[in-house]
Structure 1
């Protein structure tokens, strides 16, 4: 598809040619990973924080049960039960079952998608005892009634703010600042992965460091350069006039500066800016920074939490490599597993049925994906040792 429909940007963005677009040139090598396919540059990167998903909740809600933390899964289950009261329409967890399961498998010490074995072969998360144990625990949570009952709920952050939902899974630690738009006095806590049984060392899945890239359809050179100039502007780094305008709008209308020089969105800005900012940043963006204007507590707390997460963080060892099979059938066979996963968690299927759907996943592309990733595996990728579960 790229070869047939989109512009090869290698002549414009490789070597010294990229210096014509200094904001793009300033992006880290890691941010270009998804934009490079078969040795060619196909678009402008969209950098993101390299930190992966975390569970967050209101400090006011969780302090009732000793905080958003636990020494093991049993203690966490007790806290979830205490925070759930259907009669008062209060529930401990959002109904994003797959995201919650992701958190659980981290407590069980599961790999970040793929584990590198001693013999340099790969084992997928779906094939591990950790995934099966996570299914069992998630099903236990559902049976206990701790999930919000409406899977179509859309205003989860608002329900976190008002206490009707205790916790949700967000894209990363730095998302805590987004809750301030709902309530400037709302303090959000981040759950640091804990040991499922008191003996297992938990894991934390790092993200990719980029959410993709913006490709240009084939056209004349003048138009390509115009578009590159546009994404170069959109990639202006933190601290620049362009960054301020894109992310905060017009001074006096959308934002004002506080006594410390921080741009603070006005009431009108809170209506006008976030949607436009989000749309622009999904086309192209600079390297992300940890910045919460007017709320230094959020910045400091997030930074301190990220340091803790790095102590047991793992990257997906296949990052930066390409599987043709994954591109063709990966989403399809993943959906097959996830549909069964949701059925198991919600009690419509038994945990034992995961074995059958796993066989189908492997036969319809999983094993082929493994072979393709193994052929390109970074020789420096660390071995991941799966830990026994009590």
Structure 2
């Protein structure tokens, strides 16, 4: 995985890591992508829902310490647009809840970890009331280290596991190696940790593994995080109108493209095509199943899936796609510079890039303006969008941890889950004022020391409800949240939304080749017929049996579809 770099022809797995880094580095905790797909042993995994789940879940108590400027709606994040006033920051953790013990934490880390005894770590530990000792591991190879550690008899007190690392035997290891936090957090137990009680219930639902509440979640907005980003400044200059159907997009792409002038319309728009044609989510295996006339159908079996691929293929075939995407360059290729240069005017990527592109061009290109197109229904009507998962990264506590250590971990999570606008949030995300950041016109700006020390660590333990906050670009914050709210109005929840499902090991690799085949088809290297054959093979090799297995889960647990 390559953090901090978006793919020219992006894959879910590469984008997951880059988005996690964006979340750790940008104020507000950007929405994260979901897991690439769970796999492992067990017949039912963590599919507890309904009445059984309610017994396990923490009582939800909204956090009213700070009111957002734009309240969450339709599954969106909450938005904060105003500048910060350090003197007016609220306190969400009035007293230390830690028991003063030592807590070892293993988590993925992108970059060079700072020394353990640094001012940021000391300040955080002081607020928590515990001595947190970090065992940071390279995020790019984290799955290898994770497997080795979980197979050993010596496990740190806390292990952070992103959803995209939950392959192979990891799900069964989670169930066998990590503690049930239910005795501490279920029901009113969470009220002892108010910031944890304020985490949305859907995120806690996702934290049930093997019938027990085991994870401390990093919540995410469930509205699709894939935005068709476009150069609004150039659209305004040329008089281009934002398309409202697949045909209008194709006509606009033809109008924009002039290869001789080194200008193309767009990047690889496959993800937007899936949304425009109403294809079930491909971000995690369970979300790829939907009910059609009472029958459980996988996304790859639908006509909409083939139509989305064919439409994307036509974009490539007509020469409207920038050559970098045509070549399918690796995940290390950042589309930013050529997007900024105007070589292409539209590309789809994580919503965090709306702010990221704006911030990086603010000084060198003041006329530059990026915006996000509303996802259009392919026929010009309203789109049918599918919810992503409400939590995607989790921290787990070792079964061997004493009650005192568990309490220290919960005290730690209660600090890191503090909402935007609190002293604890500022400390977790920016460090110590004057040492790690300064405030300029209400905007926190990290110092070199802050950039070296306040990264990738404490933010991985637990997070507040999804938040977008960019006081340096309040218009971007408002636009992002309002985009989520509009798209949220068209978003439905598929049958297995919010469930933590572990597929049996025998079907682990059943759909591994589909993403590559998709990319080959849209680039003209393979044909739609090749996909139809692949789907037929998928059915006979286990897809139909997997359908029956999911049907049993659905019958036993009920549907989350909405």
- With the length of structure 1 as denominator, give the TM-score of the two structures: 0.83
Structure 2 residue 322 is matched with structure 1 residue 134:
no
Deviation at 1:103, TM superposition (A): 1.3
- Structure 2 residue aligned with 1:299: 477
Distance between the aligned counterparts of 2:502 and 2:531, measured in 1? 25
Q: In 2, distance between residues paired with 1:274 and 1:131?
A: 44
Q: Which moved more, 1:20-29 or 1:42-51?
A: 20-29
Could you say if the C-alpha distance between residues 214 and 102 of structure 1 is closer, same or farther in structure 2, counting changes exceeding 3 Å? Answer: same
Equivalent positions of 1:1-390 (< 5 A) are: 1-52=173-224, 53-64=226-237, 66-67=239-240, 69-95=242-268, 100-112=269-281, 113-119=288-294, 121-145=295-319, 146-149=321-324, 150=327, 151-152=329-330, 153-172=332-351, 175-184=353-362, 185=366, 186-198=368-380, 200-221=381-402, 222-252=404-434, 254-259=436-441, 262-265=442-445, 268=447, 272-273=450-451, 276-325=454-503, 329-330=507-508, 332-377=509-554, 379=558, 381=560
Structure 1 contact 115–124 (Cα < 8 Å) conserved: yes
Q: Which has the higher contact order (CA 8 A, sep 6+)?
A: 2
In structure 2, do the counterparts of structure 1 residues 71 and 246 end up closer, same or farther at CA, with 3 Å as the change threshold? Answer: same
Deviation of 1:304 after TM superposition, in Å, equals 2.8
Q: 8 Å contact 2:229–2:348 — kept in the other structure?
A: yes
Cα distance change of structure 1 residues 252 and 58 upon mapping to structure 2, 3 Å threshold: farther
**5+ long unaligned stretches in structure 2:** 1-172, 282-287
For 2:393, what is the secondary structure of its paired residue? strand
Q: 1:251 offset after TM fit, Å?
A: 2.7
CA distance in 1, matches of 2:464, 2:542: 35
Compare 77-86 and 242-251 and name the one that shifted more: 77-86
Distance 1:379 1:230, change over 3 A: closer
The offset of 1:305, in angstroms, is 2.1
- Offset at 1:354? 0.8
277 and 316 in structure 1: CA distance in 2 versus 1, 3 angstrom threshold:
farther
TM-superposed deviation, 1:189:
1.0
Q: Paired residues, what number?
A: 371
> Quick check: which one's helix share is greater?
1
In structure 1, C-alpha distance between the alignment counterparts of 2:478 and 2:397, rounded to whole Å:
39
- Cα 1:246–1:69 shift into 2, 3 Å: same
CA distance in 1, matches of 2:264, 2:464: 38
Pair 280,177 (structure 1): closer, same or farther in 2 beyond 3 Å: farther
- CA change 1:104–1:66 in 2 (3 A) is farther
Query: Take 2:356 and 2:453, find their aligned partners in 1: how far apart are those partners?
Result: 12
1:288-329 deviations in Å (ceiling 9; x for gaps)? 223221322112222332232123212232113354436763
Distance, in Å, in 2 between the alignment partners of 1:321 and 1:376 is 10
TM-score if structure 2 supplies the norm length? 0.60
